[in-house]
A and B are shown apart, each in its own frame.
Chain A
Amino acid sequence: MYRYDHYDQAMVDSRVEEFRDQTRRRLEGKLSEDQFKPLRLQNGLYLQLHAYMLRVAIPYGTLSGAQMHALADIAGKYDRGYGHFTTRQNIQYNWIKLEEAPDLLADLARVEMHAIQTSGNCIRNTTSDHFAGAAADEVVDPRPYAELIRQWSTFHPEFMYLPRKFKIAVIASQTDRAAMKLHDIGIRMVRNDAGEIGAAFYVGGGMGRTPMIAPCIREFVPVDQLITYSEACLRVYNRYGRRDNKYKARIKILVHELGREEYTRQVEEEFAHLLTQGIEPPLAELERIATFFADPPFETGLADDVDRSDPGFALWLDRNTLPHKQPGYAIAVISLKPVGGIPGDASVEQMHLMADLATRYSFDECRVTHAQNIVLPHVRKADLFAIWQQLEAAGLGAANLDTVEDIIACPGLDYCSLANARSIPVAQKISRRFADTGKTAELGELKLKISGCINACGHHHAGHIGILGVDRKGTENYQLLLGGSEGDDTSLGKITGPGFDEDGIVDAVERATDVYLARRREGERFLDTYRRVGIDAFKEAIYG
């Protein structure tokens, strides 16, 4: 894992003290809310539905055991005993007191974490593949590149006031586990025919009210020009992005309005200019960063056999563990989606347990996924049973990864001041419905995503089944979408028709799955069947 150097630590520490002073002045009345609001937002502190909310960045989703312990301690000390892992590999605390926020940030800084640039029109937390460094299919570990981008984008003076927020994801495998094409910039690290590492750039994707899939604007940027090319992409956007209309200010609109060819031409022109300016960090810095992400000291000669005699464990093994690049090891995913639970929430005790498991069994490392789960990336297969037993005892043993119960849901109207409808109760009812009917396993892979408003924090456009909460004359209403995907075959879901009330949407989801069960062919997932038979068969069943 990356460790802060003197410069990183000094920057974060000084930022904490700066915010402490700003907070003091606000509380003393020397700053108005209009003056203070942009300052607190630059430090991730929102004013939400019930209280102040703090969003903490977890760079590329990677945490040490000590960092997870610190997040748990913060939940206990400053919040109400829990935290919420988000769809951008962050964590949010919902009940923060302004007067305590500087102390909280100081506690974070002690474990090399912060909340800087988790709000505002700047480059946000860079996300990545949650299986990075463990997956067998990656060309290279994407996290050193994500870390380089983090360092470049943090406090970048030119990009602190972009037309709108800006999100970057970096992956390094053909399988996309980070919804890369639905980001402002998606980067896929690749190897060319000469065996050299470089980056394919996808620019202009996103969800929100105008969902778009990012087109590839360059298939190979040499690795020693990664930052320069990123800077060129941002510079063109910063210059020509729509600042006159908040709803048309994201880069996807610029790329769409200019067209991929013209946007690319402008980027290439800027890139050629920037190459003469020598802004690229020296390769030695990338190599220094990469040393932090070297493989842990894996044992060799371990057996791959696992005792499957406990049926509960066998189910979890099949559903929540994945192949690891190292023989004898596995990737284990801890589901934060217990049946009827709140997607992404974890209590103080659960966070401490996950931290302990990471330290004891996974080389002191865990990951946060954009699907709001936690990964133990490097686990000896021989330890899986012991891990599962501890997870079961703590209410973390749900064996439902990538099933209809593994629902992504934004906080919705229960917490978010932007939301139009509640998301969490719908997720709870759906997971209970399918658990009760026993259909979850039969349905197999089915990604269901719920957003409480058009901003799409719950990724509803990218769900095999998506649900969008809207406000219909003061009443919650839910639209159903089908056919979205965030994977290698990224696609955007289509609205089936008129919306439903809270119970109606649960019934509609079940009717859609019944169509799948009736019409699927051997080996087809829900998404495959939907794509083959089309939306009309589903609409007929849903609306009768």
Chain B
Amino acid sequence: MKILTGNDLKSGAVTWWTGYDWSIHVEDAVDVGDEADAIAAREEGARRVNAPYAIDAERDANGGVRPAHIKDRIRALGPTVRPDLTLKPADPEAGNWVI
């Protein structure tokens, strides 16, 4: 699947396209098929996202969304060396999802 990601213009936070809005949670991302460029242009023009780009991802066994490349998985979770600053600070296994 192809998913769309970028950064929030004001805060810089990593965001993912949900089909109608942007979420900081990668599990909310939807397959954009071949619509990535059109969505990116429209959303960037409306300043709802900064520097959007499409990436490859897959659905995992639990139905979650897992970016194909480790760089995007780290973007999705947060720095692996600061679990307290990730989106899942209480989940000791969260780092394993990245690797």
**Which A residues lie at the B interface, using CB under 8 A?**
26-27, 29, 33, 47, 49-52, 80, 95-99, 342, 413-415, 417, 419, 422, 424-425, 428, 474-476
Verify A424–B81 contact, CB threshold 8 A: yes
**How many whole Å from A122's CB to the nearest CB in chain B?**
23
Contact of A52 among B12, B69, B71, B79 (CB under 8 A): B12
Query: Would you call B75 an interface residue if the criterion is a C-beta within 8 Å of the partner chain's C-beta atoms?
Result: yes
| Known pairs A33-B50, A422-B80, A428-B81; A98 contacts B69 (CB<8 A) | no
Produce 1/0 per residue, B67-85, CB < 8 A to A.
0111100110011111001
Q: Tell whether, in the assembled complex, residue A50 and residue B81 are in contact, meaning their CB atoms are under 8 Å apart.
A: no
Q: Which residues on the A side are within 8 Å of B70 (C-beta)? A: 413, 474-476
Query: 10 other contacts beyond A414-B79, A424-B81, with CB at 8 A cut-off?
Result: A29-B47, A49-B75, A97-B12, A98-B10, A342-B81, A415-B79, A422-B80, A425-B80, A428-B81, A474-B68
Q: Which residue of B lies closest to A414 (CB)?
A: B79
Q: Are B10 and A414 in contact (CB under 8 A)?
A: no
* Interface of A (DSSP majority class): mixed
Q: Which residue of A lies closest to B45 (CB)?
A: A29
B81 A49 Cβ-Cβ under 8 A: no
Task: Report the Cα distance A70→B12, complex, angstroms.
Answer: 23
| A213 and B49 alpha carbons, distance in the complex (Å) | 43
Q: Which of B13, B80, B81, B82 contacts A51 (CB 8 A)?
A: B13
Known A33-B44, A414-B80, A422-B80: A51·B74 in contact at CB below 8 Å: no
- Report the minimal beta-carbon distance from B13 to chain A, rounded to whole angstroms: 6
User: Can you list 19 A-B pairs with a CB-CB distance of less than 8 A?
Assistant: A26-B9, A47-B12, A47-B51, A49-B14, A50-B12, A50-B13, A51-B7, A51-B11, A80-B85, A97-B10, A97-B12, A98-B12, A99-B10, A342-B81, A414-B74, A419-B71, A422-B81, A424-B81, A425-B81
Q: What is the CB-to-nearest-CB distance from B67 to chain A, in angstroms, rounded to a whole number?
A: 11
In the complex, residue of chain A having the shortest beta-carbon distance to the beta carbon of B77: A50
Interface size, B (range): 20 to 34
Query: Nearest Cβ in chain A — how far from B39, in angstroms?
Result: 16
Complex Cα gap A476–B98 (Å): 12
Residues in B neighbouring A50, C-beta threshold 8 A:
12-14, 75, 78-79
A406 to B94, CA, bound (A): 29
CA distance A99 to B10 in the complex (A): 5
Instruction: Flag if A414 contacts B81 (CB, 8 Å).
Output: yes
Cβ-Cβ contact count across A and B, 8 Å cutoff: 66
A428 to B9, CA, bound (A): 33
Q: Closest chain A residue to B95 by CB distance?
A: A425
B50 near A47 (CB under 8 angstroms)? Answer: yes
Report the separation of the CA atoms of residues A51 and B78 in the bound assembly, to the nearest whole angstrom: 10
For A475, the closest partner residue in chain B by CB is B70
CB A52 to nearest CB in B, in angstroms, measures: 4
Contact partners of A422 in chain B: CB under 8 A = 74, 80-81
Taken residue by residue from 57 to 70, chain B's Cβ proximity to chain A (1 for < 8 Å, 0 otherwise) reads as: 00000000000111
B interface majority secondary structure: loop
* Interchain nearest-CB distance for A45 vs B (Å): 9
In Å, the complex CA distance between A51 and B9 comes to 10
Q: Which chain A residue lies CB-closest to B69? A: A474
How far is it, in angstroms, between the C-alpha of A419 and the C-alpha of B9 when the chains are bound?
23
Across the interface, B12 reaches (CB within 8 A) one of A96, A425, A476, namely A96
Q: Which residues of B contact A (CB under 8 A)?
A: 7, 9-14, 44, 47, 50-51, 68-71, 74-75, 78-82, 85
A284 to B: closest C-beta gap in Å? 46
In angstroms, Cα B47 to Cα A200, docked, is 51
B47: A residues at CB distance < 8 A: 27, 29
Inside 8 A of B14's CB, which chain A residues have their CB? 49-51
A541–B3 alpha-carbon span in the complex (Å): 46
Residues of B within 8 A of A428 (CB): 81
Would you call B9 and A98 a contact (CB within 8 A)? Answer: yes
Bound: A475/B70 CA distance, A: 8
CA distance A424 to B81 in the complex (A): 7
B94 to chain A, nearest CB (A): 14
Find chain A residues with CB under 8 A from B51 CB: 33, 47
A73 to B15, CA, bound (A): 28
Q: How far is the CA of A425 from the CA of B11 in the complex (A)?
A: 27
**Chain A residue nearest in CB terms to B85:** A80
A476 to B80: give the CA distance in the assembly, Å: 14
Give A29 to B46 CA distance when docked, in angstroms: 8
Residues of B within 8 A of A52 (CB): 12
B71 touching A49 by the CB < 8 A rule? yes
CB-CB < 8 A to A424: which residues of B? 81
Q: Point out the residues of chain A lying under 8 angstroms from B10, CB to CB.
A: 27, 97-99
Give chain A residues whose Cβ lies under 8 Å from the Cβ of B68. 474
Q: How far, in angstroms, from A419 to B14 measured CA to CA in the complex?
A: 17
Residues of chain B within 8 A of A475, CB atoms compared: 70
Task: Find the A residue at minimum CB distance from B47.
Answer: A29
